Amino acid sequence: MKRPRLQRVMQTLSLGTFLGFLGFLSFRAAQGIAPDVFLWLDPLGAAGAMLAARAIIPALLAGLAVIATTLFVGRFFCGHVCPMGATLDLAQGALHIKRKKGAEPGPDARRIKYGLLAACLGSSALGVSLLYWLAPMPLVTRFWGLVVLPVVRLGLDAGLGALRPLARAMDWRALSFAVVPVPRFATMLFVALLFATLFALARLAPRFWCRYLCPAGALLALFSGRPAWRRSVSPDCTGCGACARACPMGAIPEEPGQTRFRECIACLRCVRVCPEDAIHFRLFPQSPGAESFVPERRRFLASGLSGAGMAALTLTGLDSPALKEGVTGTIVDPGRVRPPGALPEGDFLARCLRCGECMAACPTNTLQPAWLQAGVWGMFSPVAEARRGACDPDCAECGRVCPTGAVRPLPLSEKMWAKMGTAHVLRQKCLAWEWGKPCLVCKEVCPYGAIEMRRVESSPVTAPFVLGTRCTGCGACESRCPVQAEAAIQVEPMGSLRLAEGSFERAGRGMGLDIRRAVQTIRPPHGPGEGAPLFDPAPDAPTPPAFDPAPRTTAPSPFDPAPETSTQPSPFDPPSK
């Protein structure tokens, strides 16, 4: 009698749920749903993030609960729930990857994952996270969210484009102008190549990542030496070896009656293939164990010290520009613009899993994974690249979906005060400053009225000045600047406001900010080939004058440029030619 494949059903449900959450997240349809539930369950992510942050992160306690379950069901999570394992099994089946005989690494190779676990925990102990390289949930979330789903959306958009002539002929107007936004992310090729390598390693052994490399699996293995619910073999076993050949983890030695419980993921394949029905999983059976691949104490400690050593190197600042003290006394990164509500840089990097959920949720494709410009230890962390798109004033998804609180969840009224940086004008590129041509784009699209047009002696037309106290660093001006290549107005993290706790509005008012909405919302183009203004004016907003605004009546601020009667250059603008 052919037994049902319980693992296949469980993996299908788990991976389908995981992808469903990511799909809803990508299309902004997950309001009220927690799309990061799988990230909460990552045991390594939970232990490493809380250790690095030196704080209890309530959502990640679910990951510690997963560790506790190994005492009862062993590594059931690895075999039935983990989307990383399901992805590897799916790829092996879909690509028809066959195992190469005699190519499997020796038994000592299984200890590699314990060394990686020790290195990860050692670095986390000093507040430096290596989870983005090693934790399976952030890795697989990055793969599906930043590589696969954009390709799927590209295919959907291409399909709509192919149907467009038919839709116009049939006068289906909704379909004629329908588009699927296709986000593009930095590091996509690197992530794709990384997973292609993991898929190819199945030629050496099934689930190569799970067997030899996964430190989360190593963490679970430490607690699953003899779980309550485990494999047992009856005397009916004939020693045919079918179970050992079917085991994807190599958990069955040459003697089929024994089991390496630390490696067993309870996939039940051995139960299914046994011709004598001699294998069962029961509570507290009298089943002999086999030699387990546990780390040697000295090697484990040496790996932990190596991770701590790498963290110590990071803390010296040799891998990236030194962090500086911001306007509120918090530590900020002087070279990169972070999402609104991001914690001070040290806490941010300690908590951030680099899972990519904030980037997948960003509707304007503003948030991008950092590459080497963020230093070695800031790779894959989210940065705001305004040239790709502005931060929508009516969106706070990045904080809502962040699983660790590296980006604080904020209401829109608070998010507005979470100043990301300040725009400044590159006068040598500006059409008004350098070329004497009239251009009001940056002023018209600014949702906070942070740009004034003033007459200057060096130009026959009015030129833009940035009011630092009103600028939030959203990047609307930079994204819409008509100058080719680099924009003539750019956002830098100067004056950014990053708080670990407390009110952003209260802190912003205390430092002299005067942030208010001048227009209502960001809106993408209506359809293919049709342009639309980036922002729509609020219903009660007055129509802006064609040229110069009314004279300012508020008192000057240290964030504002020099008065219009002065020729002194603004601290937010580079010197004019």
* Domain coordinates in residue numbering, the chain: 6-225, 324-537
Instruction: Assess contact for 123 and 130: CB atoms under 8 A.
Output: yes
What is each CA distance from 158 to 25, 154, 164, 400, in whole angstroms?
21, 6, 10, 31
**Cα gap 307→294, rounded to integer Å:** 19
The answer to whether the Cα torsion of 54, 59, 64, 67 is positive or negative is negative
**Cα gap 65→398, rounded to integer Å:** 26
- What are the tens digits of pLDDT across the range 244-285? 999 999 999 888 899 999 999 999 999 999 999 999 999 999
Q: Which residues contact 351 (CB under 8 A, 6 or more apart)?
A: 49, 52, 53, 57, 129, 343, 404, 405, 406
Query: Does 559 have pLDDT greater than 60?
Result: no
What is each CA distance from 95 to 70, 314, 334, 404, 493, in whole angstroms?
32, 40, 45, 35, 45
Helix, strand counts (H, E) of the chain: 24, 12
- Where does 302-411 show beta strands of DSSP type E? 324-325, 331-332, 367-369, 382-384
For residue 46, count other CB atoms closer than 10 A to its CB.
29
Please, what is the average pLDDT of the chain? 83
Residue 211 has what DSSP assignment?
I
What is each CA distance from 60 to 17, 56, 131, in whole angstroms?
19, 8, 14
- What are the tens digits of pLDDT across the range 175-213? 888 888 889 998 899 999 999 999 999 999 999 999 999
Q: Among 376-385, 438-447, 544-553, which stretch is predicted with the lowest mean pLDDT?
A: 544-553
Query: Does 92 have pLDDT greater than 70?
Result: yes
Query: Does 330 have pLDDT greater than 80?
Result: no
Query: Does 379 have pLDDT greater than 90?
Result: no
Q: Among 369-378, 424-433, 440-449, 560-569, which stretch is predicted with the lowest mean pLDDT?
A: 560-569
What average pLDDT does range 87-113 have in this prediction?
Answer: 86
Highest mean pLDDT pick, 169-173, 317-321, 354-358, 517-521: 354-358
Which of the four pLDDT bands, split at 50, 70 and 90, describes residue 120?
Answer: very high
**Alpha helices, DSSP H, located in 446-567:** 476-480, 504-510
Residue 229 has what DSSP assignment?
E
The domain defined by 324-537 folds into: Alpha-Beta Plaits (3.30.70)
For residue 285, count other CB atoms closer than 10 A to its CB.
14
Give the DSSP H or E segment for 305. helix 297-315
Determine phi and psi for 185, rounding to 5 degrees: -125, 145
What pLDDT, on a 0 to 100 scale, did the predictor assign at position 527? 36
What average pLDDT does range 104-113 have in this prediction?
Answer: 86
What average pLDDT does range 41-58 have in this prediction?
Answer: 92
Give the DSSP H or E segment for 281. strand 279-283
CA 347 to chain centre: 16
**Cα gap 453→459, rounded to integer Å:** 12
Instruction: Assess contact for 475 and 368: CB atoms under 8 A.
Output: no
Query: Does 73 have pLDDT greater than 70?
Result: yes
Give the DSSP H or E segment for 165. helix 149-169
Closest CA to 188 of 365, 350, 24, 337: 365
- What are the tens digits of pLDDT across the range 207-241? 999 999 999 999 999 999 899 999 999 999 999 99
Which of the four pLDDT bands, split at 50, 70 and 90, describes residue 308?
Answer: confident
Query: Does 380 have pLDDT greater than 50?
Result: yes
**Cα gap 429→423, rounded to integer Å:** 14
Instruction: Match 């691949």 to its residue by tokens.
Output: 293
Closest CA to 231 of 256, 254, 209: 256
In the structure encoding, which two tokens stand for residue 206, read together? 């099934």
Please name the amino acid found at residue 568: Q
**Cα gap 76→79, rounded to integer Å:** 5
What pLDDT, on a 0 to 100 scale, did the predictor assign at position 24? 81
What average pLDDT does range 466-485 have in this prediction?
Answer: 94
Which of the four pLDDT bands, split at 50, 70 and 90, describes residue 33?
Answer: low
**Cα gap 246→369, rounded to integer Å:** 39
